[in-house]
Amino acid sequence: MATIELERLVKRYGPATVVHGIDLSIQDGEFVVLVGPSGCGKSTTLRMIAGLEEISDGTVRIDGRVVNDLQPKDRNIAMVFQNYAIYPHVTVADNIAFGLYRSKLSQSEKRRRVEQVAETLGLTHLLERRPAALSGGQRQRVAIGRAMVRDPAAFLFDEPLSNLDAQLRTQMRIEIKRLHHRLATTSVFVTHDQVEAMTMADRIVVMREGRILQVGTPLELYENPVDVFTASFIGSPTMNLLPGSLKDGAATLSLGGTVRAPFASATSSEILVGARPHDLVPSEAGSEGLTVSGTVAVVETLGSETLVHIESAGQTIIGSAPGRQIPRIGEQLTLHAPMEKLYYFDKATEKALAAR
Amino acid sequence: MKAAASIPVLAMPKVRPGRIIAWTLLFIGGIIMVTPLLFMLSTSLKDASQVYDLRVIPEAPTLDNYIEILGDGRFTRWLINSTIVAVIVTLSNVFFDSLVGYTLAKFRFRGRYIVFIAILSTLMIPTEMLVLPWYLMASQFGWLDSYWGIMFPGMMTAFGTFLMKQFFEGVPDDFLEAARIDGLNEFTIWWKIAMPLVTPALSALAIFTFLGNWTAFFWPLIVTTSAELYTLPVGLSSFAVEQSIQWEKIMTGASIATLPTLIIFLFLQRYIVRGVMLAGLKG
């Protein structure tokens, strides 16, 4: 158990800088998810914490101790890799035991620890098997077992679920979450999947092009995204962003209609009005807020709700209708989102304009 | 499964003209390769008077040659010499070629590319050209006429290093990084994690090296002078110089010498084929 602190952390590859001096402080026992599109520097950051990547500048502290020049093995961390990285030539038991390679425990004590971990992860009946005879989910569990057995200061996960199929991914997500709840070990989890980030994190760190855009709890990020990127990255389906121009405290949308703009001032008069699909529901025009009308182009029936894509003035807008209400394609539909559910961004800087 | 739904029909494969040509060529090729072997075996079963009688099946087959050769202390000595040389050189190659190949494949260091090119470029120098410097070196260091003298040029090969480098490049870095986090040191990572992952390549390398050294003739002939240090091929050739040409003895010795090669091929051909295939695939 430990805190992890990153201070002005920089990674350069030759002339290219891939991580631009990031600061982050992770509390003891916290589950932090680094999320962002590929190439945003999230894996590089994780690898610098692990010691697998040299630190170009800045410091990494684990439990208050600067670990910049320590070998991975001396940092007391454990890591789970995307492609599991369990050794194919030894049994499951030996794979897990590799986690105790440097431990000075007796053989019988090691064996006991391995069995205990296997029990926790439901691997007991597989201990004598080779990885080739395991399914993807079982392999990933072995990798987690190898990480767990050492009782490390922190777990580092590098996109551990992206090789699994959708169903297994959901299941492993829950297992990891449950495990974290039980062990309460500080964890840093890297993913490009915002659903994983939302469902697993205590706090999410949104990264882009080697910089941290926003840090916050899943709900904070969902409710108060600081910019267009976070707003459209967090939440699925992605947020509708409608361009408009500001005049006399109201925004005139390019696809028609006006919306009251409840913020003091903006640097430019061009703004984006955001509305999440879940807040944009079929309704009659009239009440205050955002109202858009258009032709139904695509209908996605999910059962619990129906996603409706409507086309209006050349732009596609996604709204949602109740599960049993399925609009016909080609039909005219009016969608409405209440005032307090709208987001406003400066079109030029892409920054959020005001906390609602 | 539905019963009787599909009764397999044994269709006669169509024999296409292309196939017939291919089979004919392969058959001729096979005959050409097998004939000398057959003659070697057949001659080893003849006595001296029958040697120039070219019948494949000897008129009066005899095992006398085998008894004589195996009873001859020199022959067993050469057999042992060959075994020692081939085994040690093979072990050395498996160890050093893969150590260097691994380093070149998995570590980034200044001059890495130059080292690799330097190693590769030695592949382009023919053995005949190297024999002179080898000989001078051996004579300077006093290695002439010794086991070490026979073995030293082959203890590491550029080909083996290249082969192993190609294979290690196919080993995902995640394995090595996981091991680094588990606390293994770099040497142990190579030995315990990386090596087991390239066993097909290792066995191919071992087989090629063993066979190459078992049949090596030119260098052992040059570097050895005393008969008790001859390897099998060199020793057998001495039957031809010392007392006229005793074909039946040479052929008997050659038959015995072929045995390990045959056994290796029979039991390990799976690995040989796979090794050759993989060596071609991983580029």
CB hemisphere CA count around B270 (13 angstroms): 2
Q: Does residue A59 belong to any structural domain of this protein?
A: yes
Residue B31 lies in a domain: yes
Res. B266 pLDDT band, cuts 50 70 90: confident
Confidence of residue B283 (pLDDT cuts 50, 70, 90): very low
Note the pLDDT of residue A245: 86
Query: Which tens digit of pLDDT belongs to each residue from A296-330?
Result: 999 999 988 999 999 988 889 999 998 888 889 99
Return the structure tokens found at A84.
């599991």
- Considering the domain architecture, whether residues B148 and B25 belong to the same structural domain is answered as no
Tell whether B225 and B134 lie within a shared domain.
Answer: yes
Number of domains in chain B: 2
Looking at the partner chain, which of A88, A98, A146 has a beta carbon nearest the beta carbon of B197? A88
Domain contains A33: yes
Which residues in chain A have their CB less than 8 angstroms from residue B183's CB?
73, 101-102
Are residues B22 and B152 located together in one domain of the fold? no
Give the residue numbers spanning the domain of B213: 68-281
- Residue finishing a domain among A232, A257, A272: A232
Are B174 and A77 an interchain contact pair (Cβ–Cβ within 8 Å)?
A: no
Question: How far is A62 from A1, CA to CA, in rounded Å?
Answer: 10
- Residue B60's contacts (CB-CB under 8 Å, 6 or more residues apart) are B46, B47, B50
Mutation site, A75, A81, A156, interface B, largest B CB count within 10 A? A81
Q: How many residues does chain A have?
A: 356
Instruction: Give the end of a domain, one of A198, A232, A266.
Output: A232
Question: B37 and B101: one domain?
Answer: no
Q: Is the per-residue pLDDT at A275 higher than 70?
A: yes
Assess whether B197 and B157 both reside in one domain.
yes
* DSSP character at residue A249: T
User: Residue B12 carries which DSSP code?
Assistant: P
Nearest-10 Cα torsion for A115, A119, A125, A127: -40
pLDDT at res. A135:
87
Q: Which chain B residue shows the shortest CA-CA distance from A147?
A: B182
How many domains does chain A fold into?
A: 2
Q: Do A85 and B193 touch (CB under 8 A)?
A: no
Dig out the tokens for A137 from the structure: 């989910």
- Verify that A84 and A218 share a domain, yes or no: yes
Mean pLDDT for the stretch of residues B248-264: 87
- Confirm whether B5 is domain-assigned: no
| Residue B265's CATH number | 1.10.3720.10
Q: How far apart are CA B276 and CA B200, in angstroms?
A: 10
Do A315 and A224 sit in the same domain of this protein? Answer: no
Q: Which of A203, A232, A261 is the last residue of a domain?
A: A232
**Do residue A277 and residue A214 come from a single domain?**
no
Least Cα separation, residue A68 to chain B (angstroms) = 15
**pLDDT (tens digit per residue) in B14-48:** 678 888 999 999 999 999 999 999 999 999 998 88
Within this chain, do residues B34 and B114 fall inside the same structural domain, yes or no?
no
Residues 6+ apart with CB under 8 A from A11: A17, A18, A19, A41, A44, A45, A48, A53, A55, A56, A210
Backbone angles phi, psi at B225, to 5 degrees: -125, -35
What is the span of the domain harbouring residue A80? 4-232
Q: How far is A102 from chain B (nearest CA, A)?
A: 6
- Same-domain pairing of A133 and A100: yes
Do A171 and A311 fall into the same domain? no
pLDDT in tens, B155-192: 999 999 999 999 999 998 999 999 999 999 999 999 99
Instruction: Specify if A246 maps to a domain.
Output: yes
Give how far A56 is from chain B: nearest CA, Å.
17
Query: What pLDDT does residue A356 have?
Result: 45
- Asked if residue B68 has pLDDT above 70, the reply is yes
Strand partners, A33: A189, A204
Q: Are residues B129 and B243 in the same domain?
A: yes
The CATH number linked to A143 is 3.40.50.300
Same domain as A262, residue A195: no
